[in-house]
Amino acid sequence: MRVLRKCAGIAVLVLAAGASIMMGQTGTADTLAAARTLSHNGHRGEALKLLEDRLAIDPSDSDLRVLHGIVLSWEGRYDESRQELALVLAGHPGHGDAVTALLNVEMWSDHPERAELLARRELERHPGDPALLLARARALRAMHQARKAEEITRRLVHSDPANRQARELNQTLGEDLQRWQVAFDHASDWFSDGSAPWREDQISLTNHIPAGSLIGRFSRAERFSRGSQQVEIDFYPHIRSGTYAYVNAGYSPDAVLYPRYRIGTDLYQSLGHGLEASAGYRRLAFGTGINIYTAALSKYQGSWLLTSRVYLTPDTVGTSYSMQFSARRYLGGEGTYWSVRGGWGSAPVEIASTADIGILNSSSFGGELSRRMSRRTSLRGQAGVAREDRVNRAGLYHYTADAAFYFRF
Question: 171, 375 in Cβ contact below 8 A?
Answer: yes
Domain limit, last residue, from 134, 151, 176: 176
Report the pLDDT value the prediction gives residue 15, as an integer from 0 to 100: 46
pLDDT in the model for residue 347: 67
pTM for the whole thing? 0.72
Strand partners, 305: 300, 328
289 burial via Cβ count (<10 Å: 0-12, 13-18, 19+): exposed
- Same domain? For 110 and 23 the reply is yes
Same domain, 101 and 235: no
Enter the DSSP assignment of 195: P
Q: Parallel, antiparallel, or unpaired: how do β-strands 377-390 and 275-284 relate?
A: unpaired
Note the pLDDT of residue 29: 85
Buried b (16+ CB within 10 A) or exposed e, 68-93: bbbbbbbbebbebbbebbebbbeeee
Same domain, 274 and 348: yes
Show the 3-state SS of 104-138: HHHHHCCCHHHHHHHHHHHHHHCCCCHHHHHHHHH
Give the whole-angstrom CA distance, residue 268 versus residue 295.
10
For 35, the domain range is 2-176
- Is 279 found in the same domain as 161? no
Q: How far is CA 121 from CA 33, 81, 128, 129, 159, in A?
A: 31, 20, 12, 12, 21
297 and 221 within one domain = yes
Count up the domains in the chain and report the number: 2
According to DSSP, residue 197 is labeled P
**pLDDT at 5 (0 to 100):** 44
> Is residue 85 domain-shared with residue 214, that is, in the same domain?
no
The one-letter code for the residue type at 120 is R
CB burial of residue 297 (10 Å; 0-12, 13-18, 19+): middle
DSSP helix/strand/coil, 48: helix
Give the DSSP H/E element, type plus range, for residue 190. strand 180-191
Report d(CA 311, CA 319) in Å as an integer. Answer: 10
HSE value, Cβ hemisphere, 13 Å, CA-based, for 155: 12
Mark residue 390 as left, alpha or beta (left: phi above 0; alpha: psi -120 to 50; beta: remaining). Answer: beta
User: Do 81 and 162 fall within a single domain?
Assistant: yes
Based on the fold, state whether residues 207 and 157 are members of the same structural domain. no
The dihedral region occupied by 127, where left means phi > 0, alpha psi between -120 and 50, and beta the remainder, is beta
Element (H, E) at 147: helix 146-159
CA distances, 212 to each of 137, 150, 203, 206 (Å): 19, 18, 20, 10
Whole-angstrom distance, CA of residue 324 vs CA of residue 311: 9
Q: β-pairing, 393-408 with 304-315?
A: unpaired
| CA-only gyration radius of the chain, Å | 27
pLDDT of residue 348: 59
Same domain, 110 and 50: yes
Q: Which of 176, 211, 238 is the last residue of a domain?
A: 176
Residue 346's CB: how many other CB atoms inside 10 A?
22
CATH number at residue 147: 1.25.40.10
Q: What is the CATH number of the domain that holds 332?
A: 2.40.160.40
Whole-number pLDDT of residue 9: 46
Let me know whether 101 and 222 are in one domain.
no
Contact predicate 226/199, CB 8 Å = no
Q: Which residues face 364 on adjacent strands?
A: 343, 386
pLDDT digit string (tens) for the chain, length 409 residues? 444 444 544 444 554 444 444 434 456 788 899 999 999 998 999 999 999 999 999 999 999 999 999 999 999 999 999 999 999 999 999 999 999 999 999 999 989 999 999 999 999 999 999 999 999 999 999 888 888 999 999 999 999 989 999 998 988 888 778 889 999 999 999 999 998 899 999 999 999 887 889 999 999 999 988 999 999 999 999 998 789 999 999 999 999 999 999 999 999 999 988 899 999 999 999 988 999 999 999 999 889 999 999 999 998 778 888 999 999 999 976 789 999 999 999 865 678 888 787 788 999 999 999 999 988 899 999 999 999 998 888 999 999 999 999 999 8
Choose one of 176, 202, 220: the last residue of a domain. 176
| Residues 119 and 189 grouped into a single domain | no
Q: Are 400 and 382 in a shared domain?
A: yes
